Amino acid sequence: MTITEKLSSGITIVELCGTIDASTAPELQRHQAISDPTRTIVIDLARLDFLDSSGLGAIIGAAHRKEESGANMLLSCMNQKVRRVFDITGTVRLFHIFDETAAAIDYATTLRKSQ
């Protein structure tokens, strides 16, 4: 798994590439932008090939910590394989999911202004 980070309109975009499974989920959990509960982020999943329950758990756990601190985690560009994991587990309803990262950034900016 590769994690890259960039800033757009004051919102951190975390791009995930490759596989998130039991061996890579801890790395995801330790990543600064994801582990910081006060930082609103958009996770771009366009290049994520595989997500298992460990990876899903890492994403959900980080989202809960952010929510408790008043921050948000939004998801964008989910491919069908990854979307299927969210749909089957019912976790799709826990997130704001956008087809385009730009739309997620716009929404995150709106959320930040309202806080």
Q: Is residue 55 part of a domain?
A: yes
3-state SS, residue 15: strand
3-state SS, residue 28: helix
Write the CA distances from 43 to 96, 97, integer angstroms. Answer: 11, 10
Structural domain count, the chain? 1
Q: For 64-110, write each residue's pLDDT tens digit.
A: 999 999 999 999 999 999 999 999 999 999 999 999 999 999 999 99
Q: Is residue 113 part of a domain?
A: no
Q: Is residue 86 part of a domain?
A: yes
Spatial contact of 75 and 96, defined as CB atoms under 8 Å apart: yes
Q: What is the mean pLDDT of the chain?
A: 95
Which CATH number do you get for residue 94?
3.30.750.24
Q: Is residue 68 part of a domain?
A: yes
Give the dihedral of Cα atoms 44, 47, 51, 54; nearest 10 deg.
Answer: -60
Domain range enclosing 43: 2-98
pLDDT at 50 over 90: yes
Q: Is residue 114 part of a domain?
A: no
Q: Is residue 111 part of a domain?
A: no
pTM: 0.94
Q: Which of 6, 76, 72 has its CA nearest to residue 39?
A: 72
Looking at residue 115, its pLDDT comes to: 62
